[in-house]
Structure 1
Amino acid sequence: MKISISLQQDVLAPELVLKRAYIKKVIETTLRHIQLAQDCEIGIACVGIDESHQLNFQYRQKDKPTNVLSFPSDLPEDVLNVIDCLPLGDLVICIPVVLQEANEQVKTPIEHFTHMLVHGTLHLIGYDHETSTEDAEEMEALEVEILAKLGLTNPYLSE
């Protein structure tokens, strides 16, 4: 499996240094866990409060910034069947919100960023936690399993 990543870092934080190789490893671990072995591409934008707030309001009608937004690719099935590299879509991760939540949840910034990366990637491939309790439980269980493969603890234990 080959993964192409487009990484846009509009916001940098000294307490959260992001390395492309690490991001790629997290996404690859996530996709392998759910047995998606096709070459794919994903866009990741690390943004500030204002952009997250605006996008969250525009696309989800929620008047606040959020930790991660997922924008799955919406290419038609007939196009997807003839391309070699599957475009998964884009993730928009709000670095200030991730840092604040990490602090509130007594986690390191990279642990929480990793969780948001796994969570957002699962959204890109169709997992959802807002439609039913069963879907939420399935998605959370996958996140816990994937994060364990990455050497991280269950992020839901402290909640």
Structure 2
Amino acid sequence: MTALGLDLRRVYGAYPTGVAVVAGLVGGRPAGIAASSFVPVSLDPPLVSVCVAHTSTTWPLLRERPTIGISVLGAHQEHVGRRVGARDGDRFAGVEWRATEGGSVLVEGASAWFDCVVEQQVRSGDHDIVVFRVEDLDAAHDVPPLVFHASTFRSLR
């Protein structure tokens, strides 16, 4: 990585973000990625987005699913963020989840859940910006979110 790339990573890390799991059923099993780039986009229509690296080997499996779940992880779910963010192994081993009728995978105990369809995908630099239309949603307002800041997981408590 270049010096500029290292500086960008360090400075981007000064901005705290939530941690979300983007997941769906693939061949009857959960597949997903961890994303710290989850952003609400629009109320009307209801849209949210995440950024996905071009190097992701999981996103090509998910992007054609009829529905995809986005779970905003709770502060107590650092282990889920690490597990689903791993590059190898069973990313859902030890993770409690449920599937919707449409095949979205939602993590149990999260702060918020979104059942979505892919609305648009925009190539941008070394990532794609993926915009999702929200079909259904819910939140556990008593569960504080997990935050990623300065290259580590943090709690707002």
Please report the TM-score for the alignment, with normalisation by the length of structure 2: 0.25
> Per chain length, whose mean CA-contact separation is higher, i.e. which structure has more relative contact order (CA < 8 Å, sep 6+)?
2
Hey, which of these two has a bigger chunk of strand by percent?
A: 2
